[in-house]
Amino acid sequence: MTSSHTVDFLSSGFVVKTARSEQFNGKIKAEVEQIRVLHAIYPQLMVPVLHDGLAAGRQFYILEKMNSLPLSGIVFDEQRSLAGRRMIVRNALEKIQEAISLESETSSLMVNDMAERLREEWEGTRFAHALFDKSVLLNGASFTTTAREVYEKALKMAQTEVFRSVDKAHFNFHFGNVLYNEECAETRFIDPDFSVRGLDPLFGFSRFAFSFWHELAAEVKDAVKVVPMADALMFVLARPDYANILSEIPELGSISGLLPLMGESMRNRFYVLTTYCFLRSIRINGSKQIWNMPRSPVVASPEEVLMLGLLAYLEGTVAETVTLCA
Ligand SMILES: Nc1ncnc2c1ncn2[C@@H]1O[C@H](COP(=O)(O)OP(=O)(O)OP(=O)(O)O)[C@@H](O)[C@H]1O
Ligand SMILES: [Mg+2]
């Protein structure tokens, strides 16, 4: 999929984001407006737009180039200790928490639309429904739940939970959009998502949690292998560091690792929004080919990696399975 825009780093210390064609001007313009709105709410956290306009009929905007790294460049840096990476993740999460609470104060509107939204995404991922029924193992440990059961559980919760509906929120705290300056231990945000406005701002946490699996699904080549078994699918992570991140940075490993930051009372809302986040991404990034059981070990497809992430993050595995031979 060709991107709607280009991002250029100028030697003068500025970053320019430009629509690829007039067709995408509206998207970039909406992004500029959203950055301005968010900057007014949390000026210390949002990188401001310095200038925007039209160049040869294409919308662009300019940001100061931050002397920092996106979290993706930190979390996946094997040269760093896991404790060091965890500290940075926690610092960034505190700022995300701060932003989300300020966003939550911008609207008192409560809605009950998540069941409907979930059903739409379930329909949109029809090509992968056979995959969602499979029993799954990760590095030898099994899940007691299937992805379909996660969806059904989320749907049930969505029918009783109410959600905040907010327009003035970032909604897109994935690793590429959270910039971290190590010298000052400073976190700044770029690139909000205007297309999901109206959701609960807690969705921003879901985007963050999902980000680890999105990187493995869409950004890193050959990150996960899938091995077909008689009655299950076994996934193997290509690098030991991936499994270490999940166990040593609990905030990224599972819902229980992140909940202390947002409050245990948020569990059901967060479960629903995170399921929605993964399904939405499977619809957008998945192959859209009807899923079939692979015949031999292969590199996992984006929909397979994201399904694995949904299970691992929300349900976790049970201890290593021991196969007893007769
Ligand atoms: N002001 C900035 N300072 C430093 N780095 C930046 C800045 N703006 C963007 N970047 C870098 O450029 C990358 C892409 O920018 P941005 O997120 O705005 O575009 P994008 O194409 O939407 O990316 P994606 O869709 O992959 O999130 C960021 O992940 C970050 O690494
Ligand atoms: Mg981005």
Question: Same structural domain for residues 254 and 309?
Answer: yes
Burial track 22-57 (b if 16+ CB lie within 10 A, e otherwise)? eebbeebbebbebbebbbebbeebbbebeebeeeee
- What pLDDT does residue 317 have? 78
- What pLDDT does residue 318 have? 73
- Checking if the pLDDT of 306 tops 50, the result is yes
pLDDT in tens, 174-192: 999 999 999 999 999 999 9
Question: Same structural domain for residues 10 and 129?
Answer: no
Please tell me the residue having the least CA distance from ligand 1 atom 7.
Answer: 65
Tell me the angle at which helices 267-285 and 203-214 cross, rounded to the nearest 10 degrees: 50
Question: Same structural domain for residues 93 and 10?
Answer: no
Question: Same structural domain for residues 133 and 169?
Answer: yes
Centre of ligand 2 to C-alpha 93, Å, is 17
Mutate to test the pocket of ligand 1, among 179, 182, 195, 211 (most ligand atoms within 8 A of CB): 179
Atom of ligand 1 at shortest range from CA of 5: 21
For range 131-156, the mean pLDDT: 97
Classify residue 323: in a domain, yes or no.
no
Amino acid at residue number 155: L
pTM (two decimals): 0.95
Count of structural domains within the chain: 2
- Checking if the pLDDT of 326 tops 80, the result is no
Atom of ligand 1 at shortest range from CA of 174: 27
Question: Same structural domain for residues 123 and 194?
Answer: yes
Question: Same structural domain for residues 178 and 231?
Answer: yes
Judged by DSSP in three states, 222 sits in coil
- Checking if the pLDDT of 321 tops 90, the result is no
- What pLDDT does residue 50 have? 98
- What pLDDT does residue 111 have? 96
Q: How far apart are CA 262 and CA 260, in angstroms?
A: 6
pLDDT in tens, 155-170: 999 999 999 999 999 9
Q: How far apart are CA 201 and CA 314, in angstroms?
A: 19
For range 196-211, the mean pLDDT: 97
Mutate to test the pocket of ligand 1, among 4, 6, 7 (most ligand atoms within 8 A of CB): 7
Task: Name the average pLDDT for the chain.
Answer: 95
Atom of ligand 1 at shortest range from CA of 70: 31
pLDDT in tens, 243-283: 999 999 999 999 999 999 999 999 999 999 999 999 999 99
Tell the burial category of 208 from Cβ atoms under 10 Å away from its Cβ (0-12, 13-18, 19+).
buried
For range 228-240, the mean pLDDT: 96
Token pair recorded at residue 305: 């990696």
The domain that holds 54 is classified in CATH as: 3.30.200.20
Q: How far apart are CA 216 and CA 238, in angstroms?
A: 10
pLDDT in tens, 60-81: 999 999 999 999 999 999 999 9
Q: How far apart are CA 204 and CA 207, in angstroms?
A: 5
193 CB within 6 A, ligand 1: no
Tell me the angle at which helices 302-314 and 147-160 cross, rounded to the nearest 10 degrees: 60
66 CB within 6 A, ligand 1: yes
Instruction: Kindly give the pairing relationship between strand 14-19 and strand 49-55.
Output: unpaired
Domain of 281 in residue numbering reads as 69-314
Q: How far is CA 53 from CA 35, 61, 193, in A?
A: 15, 7, 20
Atom of ligand 1 at shortest range from CA of 17: 18
Please tell me the residue having the least CA distance from ligand 1 atom 1.
Answer: 65
